[in-house]
Structure 1
Amino acid sequence: MSTAAHQAFFDRTHSDDLIAFLGTSPSPYHAVASAAERLEKAGFRQVAETDAWDDAPGGRYLIRGGALMAWYLPEGVGPETPFRVVGTHTDSPNLRVKPVPDTGSAGWRQVAVEIYGGVPLNTWLDRDLGLSGRLVLKDGTARLVQLDEPLLRVPQLAIHLDRSVNDGMKLDRQRHLTPIWGLGPVDEGSLISYVAERAGLAAEDVAGWDLMTHDVQPASYLGRDRELLAAPRLDNLLSVHAATAALAAVASGPDAADLPYVPVLAAFDHEETGSESDTGAQSPLLGNVLDRTIHARGGNAEDRARALAGTVCLSSDMGHAVHPNYVERHEPGHHPVPNGGPILKVNVNNRYATDGVGRAVFAAACEKAGVPWQSFVSNNAVACGTTIGPITAARLGIRTVDCGIAALSMHSARELCGAEDPYLLASAIKAFLEG
């Protein structure tokens, strides 16, 4: 297909906005701020967990660290009204700055980092890295910081010094992943002083930090027909962006007042490390939000039980496209491809939460949206990953469906997907939230 024909087939507005979202979201803290900005434009207002909540119709959201919960209350919904929840996560595998960051060797200044999540280590070699995250001040407030410039680099050993590198690279996670950022002796306190100065703060006012590296190369379209999207953090900011766009569209739509469900976005942190935190899917955060919205509408335990019995959660996370160079690693009868629409993820050992009834819910949403969809299941000889889906299903006792889009290079510093799929996913999520 020619470039002109392809562009005529696909409106890139959604993917263009995804590229902008990825650029402003190098950390989970930035991702929730970027999503909140989009929700504010759609009429949502921020609420505090420490305040009492009311039952007035409209959109609300709360931020806790790197997690965001958002929901829309239609007019006149009773406390027993079920929810339609889209679950996502804001974190991505990367290299994160240690508590004592300044280190070095042999005349090089370096930054001590810890590996976060399941990282293909070689993808972080020889990349220009920036820093992002948050600085926490002595008064407990936090300041976001985003340094989109080549500050750090993890240099690979030259092939002249390791002639066997192409026979299989072995990287020591402690010794070989320490980035350089200059020359000279180790200068204790220099990294945080530098970051604080760039944020307009005094180093002595900084009491803590949550800083991480990110590839400064921006997201971009790829291929002859620009039908692919190459970008960092597609897993899982693509789903966060799609769900945010879908919720904003539902809340702004002509039928918002008459929705049969309460639509909810749950964007958790720390999925890549097991979700065990106060902002992860294993925390009571989502359950508390649902309970409090029921209570604000005058509900009791009976109303809660009725509401959750009719609730469905769509867990949206990235999945695997068939890899042309490793076809044998995939299940022979299930070869999801980019731009083929969202994928329904199934695993009978409950690594994904989808069952037959959930499949029907997902298929109905895709049909309503006019969106094609595909099925994904792992090769029996290859271990299957997991998501927040089974956690959410088990913790809240609600029906949960796992979906996503097909991609290559998952967890790499830079991933690859179809340029059409983000819009197709968002369209399916919108239809799901509308019921």
Structure 2
Amino acid sequence: MVPHLITALTGPINELEQRILDSTPAIERWFRLEWMEHTPPFYSSVDVRNAGFKLAPVDTNLFPGGWNNLTPAMLPLAVQAAMAAIEKICPEARNLLVVPENHTRNSFYLSNLVQLKRIFHQAGLNVRFGSLSAEIKAPTTLNLPTGEAISIEPLIRTDRRLGLKNFDPCTILLNNDLSAGIPGMLEDLHEQFLLPPLHAGWSVRRKSHHFKAYEEVSKRFGKLLGIDPWLINPMFAQCGEVNIAEGTGMECLTTHVDALLSKVKRKYKEYGINEKPFVVVKADNGTYGMGIMTVRDVKDLDALNRKTKNKMSVIKDGQALSEVIIQEGVLTNERVNDAVAEPVVYMMDRYVVGGFYRVHAERGVDENLNAPGASFVPLAFADSGRLPQPGEKPGSSSPNRFYMYGVIARLAMLAASYELEATDPDAEVYD
């Protein structure tokens, strides 16, 4: 299913789609050379927004949940990618330990774990789940509405290794984004591969680092295609030491919001875009759609109500919001059954394996869709996303649209690779 794009401003994106399709061999070679120099994140998902005049990633998740939203048709691709990823890390791997989030009562999240187990089981691994939660003191079976069940066990830490009772894995996969900090249990492991690395967790990672890396990637990619990188890159700024609830650090926020709105206005004027610019203020660390607000005018910051201030004070796991990224807002002009939608692309190793549309009937084109009430419609990536159809008119075919989304998502994944290398505490630094 291909949602329709409800905008007359499809010119630049149709041109971009045509440029991407015409340059497919060069693009694939460029990615191939990049992956010879850089290691892709083990798995990732990227939220993409298509405004019709601009196509850009707005978030990159290195601990993706939501695998349950991929269709059965997408699984063979995911299994192949999982095999490739594991072979590179631990070819003789027999056991895979998955460390899930602590909120294990959420049935959608549990379905995500079941799907991950299915993928890695078919890739040839024994998969078990070990929880960091103090509440899990014995193997606990949780039943899903689908009739499936999942067993979560307490983690056992020996001197240098992490495992479960009678289960010693060579690879540990985190499906927990470490928002609350890095537990000592995960540190100083001996001859075990922890994926993603600890510095990918939100207690360390910052979105501003990611989008700085993405800016660099988009400039190089723009040069390859001969396009303005702005067409694929959301501009941004960053403020540390902000407490929106108490009103401290607001000068930094006001200054950057004003400056960014002015920059976006200039770009809109350059391209003849008759839309109202907006920016999105969100936690520089953290996920789950928490700590996010849309700002259309700098005066809006003076008139924040108590509810919005409270919403902007805390992120996941009760962590206080103290650093924010101010990101150029990218409209979404895609609709599924008249509801606002945005594509989310899923990757494992360096491969696009599938995705879905996040759909929200109660949200506007300039609002965050990762919120209660969202629903998910699978993308047709599995049979078409990697195979563009040359000769098709831009904007008319699902394979071409999905291929384009896959390219943008892989650019964000490459930026994540740059970001993780730059923030690796164990990397050797050369002058």
Which protein shows a greater Rg?
1
Length-normalised TM-score, structure 1:
0.28
More helix by share: 2
